[in-house]
Structure 1
Amino acid sequence: MLSIKDFSEMTHLSAQTLRYYHAEGLLVPARVDEQTGYRSYTFDQVEQAMLITVLRQAGLGVQQVKRARDEPDAAPALLREHAKQVQRQREEQDEAIRTARDLLEAQPEPCVCRVPAMTVVSRPAPVTPLGHDRQNWDLAEKTLTAATGDLIKVVESCGATPAGRPWRILAPRAALAREGAFWLVQIPVVGDATMLAAVPADVEAQEYSGGDELSITMPGRHSMAKYCTAISRLLAHPIGDAFLDIGRLRHLSHEDGVEFSAPICRADR
């Protein structure tokens, strides 16, 4: 039999960790002295401790390790699923590092851009108001991206051609009424009246007047904080006697960030 001190030295697990594993039923000593409470282990348990250590170092929780021990046939699938989760976390961390670097090296600043007049097709997207947690925003982004892809297919099936980067805007009437689709996906297109007349009933074709817009691009994925920061910086940017129509704020997704662009309205118009 090995004392807890000897077993600790062999397995590189502290006595405190071994007591914790005992309490959790993960690595139970071969014998516990009823009078002194001293724990003793067998040499064969070193292999158990080694496997537990490897799985814990891989990031599995105590309950996951117990399941892998108790259900050896399910252990490989459990480890594969954990590996996928770790990979997703690494990708998120890599993206966060890139975003942090972009924010630290070059603070996003608004700029005035000229947007041409264009024909735009628009369709409601089945997305409820965005929540404050990351999961809700990610789900909304996936839904909006899918809705945009579907609208592109509709446009092309009618013989029209997408003519620029799609965007989305908040649907003002639905937002005020707090019912229905809260977002519209919109795509600039090239096509004649016959082509546009063939679009489904839930797709609207309209003219976008164009003009000067104030734009800012926030690096990384969309989030509530970036959305609010963008609006704050746009509204704080001096534009003389003009004002911004934030109600028509466009959200344009880029590979490296999200662009927010709002029309500049002149006081004399």
Structure 2
Amino acid sequence: MLSIREFSEMCHLSPQALRFYHAEGLLVPAETDERTGYRRYAFEQVEQAMLITLLRDTGMSVKLVRQALDEPDRATTLLARHSDEVHCQRAAQDEAIQAARSVFEARPEPQESHVPARTVIARLVPGTPVGRDAQEWEEAERIIAETVTELLDTVEKAGATCLGRPWRTLALETPEQDRRALDGEGPFWIVKVAVTAPDEVLAALPAGFLVRNEEAGDELSIFMPGRNTMAKYCTVILRLLNAQPVDGDSFVNVARVRQELRPDGVLSSAPVERRPTGP
């Protein structure tokens, strides 16, 4: 029998790690002195320690390691699944690193631009959660992306031509939309795309697809690298609110922020509008 110190040196596992694996049921000592608590290991347990080390070095959780040890026939399947997850995590980390580098190298600041008058086709996004936490936000992102795909497919089938990328904006364009959004009922988002098409094409769109004529105007825009998150969205809103418009009679209407998703990030734009005058 081997003491915990001897077994630790043989397997290159610290005594703390051995105690942890014992507590988790991964590597139970062959003997434990009930009076002193001293642990002793059998030489045959070196192989079990080696397998645990191999699996843990891959980044597998204790739960997955236990499954692989309890069901060795499934070990390769579990490793394949874990490998896929690691690659996905690494891809997400690489994207996050690139986004962080872009943000710190060139701090995103508002830029002013002019938007011409345009005809847009719009679609309310049904079923999105409010986005109170990361899970809800990701679910909303997925549903919005699906609605954008539906919008573009419908525009193409109708025979209209898209002018640029689609975007989404909060569903606050009518008193009814305002009420439903504030009451937490939704829909909370609208997706849009600028188009050119004959009137008869626009008139023949399926139910639920709206045609809007939007006036020309000025915008302040910020490009935020990487995937869209609630924190980035709030940061953009704050920077737009703090931006100084070209004259004192104008303000940035952040309630009408529109977001254009691009392969490398999100372009968020808000219209610069005149302050209402008194009666």
Amino acid at match of 2:254: I
Q: Confirm whether residue 207 of structure 1 aligns to residue 213 of structure 2.
A: yes
**Given that residues 129 and 139 in structure 2 are in contact (C-alpha distance below 8 angstroms), is that contact kept between their aligned partners in structure 1?**
no
Deviation, structure 1 residue 223: 1.4
Q: Confirm whether residue 187 of structure 1 aligns to residue 216 of structure 2.
A: no
Amino acid at match of 1:52: I
Inter-partner Cα distance in structure 2 for 1:132 and 1:88:
25
Q: Confirm whether residue 155 of structure 1 aligns to residue 163 of structure 2.
A: no
Tell which deviates more after alignment, 28-37 or 215-224.
28-37
**Given that residues 127 and 183 in structure 1 are in contact (C-alpha distance below 8 angstroms), is that contact kept between their aligned partners in structure 2?**
no
Q: Confirm whether residue 236 of structure 1 aligns to residue 242 of structure 2.
A: yes
Instruction: For structure 2, list consecutive stretches of 5 or more residues without a partner in the other structure.
Output: none
Deviation, structure 1 residue 56: 1.2
Q: 1:189 to 1:3 in 2, by over 3 A?
A: same
Deviation, structure 1 residue 92: 2.0
Q: Confirm whether residue 50 of structure 1 aligns to residue 58 of structure 2.
A: no
Q: Which position in structure 2 is the counterpart of 1:96?
A: 96
Tell which deviates more after alignment, 181-190 or 124-133.
124-133
Q: Which position in structure 2 is the counterpart of 1:217?
A: 223
Inter-partner Cα distance in structure 1 for 2:269 and 2:20:
55
Q: Which position in structure 1 is the counterpart of 2:259?
A: 251
Inter-partner Cα distance in structure 2 for 1:265 and 1:35:
79
**Given that residues 110 and 214 in structure 1 are in contact (C-alpha distance below 8 angstroms), is that contact kept between their aligned partners in structure 2?**
yes
Q: Which position in structure 1 is the counterpart of 2:142?
A: 142
Q: Which position in structure 2 is the counterpart of 1:11?
A: 11
Deviation, structure 1 residue 191: 0.4
How many residue pairs get matched? 269
Q: Which position in structure 1 is the counterpart of 2:75?
A: 75
Tell which deviates more after alignment, 82-91 or 8-17.
82-91
User: 1:204 is paired with a residue of what secondary structure?
Assistant: strand
**Given that residues 171 and 190 in structure 2 are in contact (C-alpha distance below 8 angstroms), is that contact kept between their aligned partners in structure 1?**
yes
Inter-partner Cα distance in structure 2 for 1:236 and 1:140:
27
User: 2:72 is paired with a residue of what secondary structure?
Assistant: coil
Q: Which position in structure 2 is the counterpart of 1:197?
A: 203
Q: Which position in structure 2 is the counterpart of 1:123?
A: 123
Amino acid at match of 2:23: A
Inter-partner Cα distance in structure 2 for 1:178 and 1:4:
59
Q: 1:165 to 1:7 in 2, by over 3 A?
A: same
Inter-partner Cα distance in structure 2 for 1:242 and 1:22:
68
Deviation, structure 1 residue 19: 2.3
Inter-partner Cα distance in structure 1 for 2:131 and 2:235:
16
Q: Confirm whether residue 178 of structure 1 aligns to residue 159 of structure 2.
A: no
Amino acid at match of 1:126: P
TM-score by structure 1 length? Answer: 0.93
User: 1:45 is paired with a residue of what secondary structure?
Assistant: helix
Deviation, structure 1 residue 105: 0.9
**Given that residues 118 and 195 in structure 2 are in contact (C-alpha distance below 8 angstroms), is that contact kept between their aligned partners in structure 1?**
yes
Deviation, structure 1 residue 35: 5.0
**Given that residues 137 and 222 in structure 1 are in contact (C-alpha distance below 8 angstroms), is that contact kept between their aligned partners in structure 2?**
no
Inter-partner Cα distance in structure 1 for 2:135 and 2:85:
15
Inter-partner Cα distance in structure 2 for 1:81 and 1:15:
30
Q: Which position in structure 1 is the counterpart of 2:39?
A: 39
Q: Confirm whether residue 60 of structure 1 aligns to residue 60 of structure 2.
A: yes
TM-score by structure 2 length? Answer: 0.90
Inter-partner Cα distance in structure 1 for 2:130 and 2:84:
27
Instruction: For structure 1, list consecutive stretches of 5 or more residues without a partner in the other structure.
Output: none
**Given that residues 115 and 217 in structure 2 are in contact (C-alpha distance below 8 angstroms), is that contact kept between their aligned partners in structure 1?**
yes
Moved over 6 A (4+): none
**Given that residues 127 and 144 in structure 1 are in contact (C-alpha distance below 8 angstroms), is that contact kept between their aligned partners in structure 2?**
no
Deviation, structure 1 residue 42: 2.4
Amino acid at match of 1:259: L
**Given that residues 121 and 205 in structure 1 are in contact (C-alpha distance below 8 angstroms), is that contact kept between their aligned partners in structure 2?**
yes
Q: Which position in structure 2 is the counterpart of 1:264?
A: 272
Q: 1:190 to 1:199 in 2, by over 3 A?
A: same
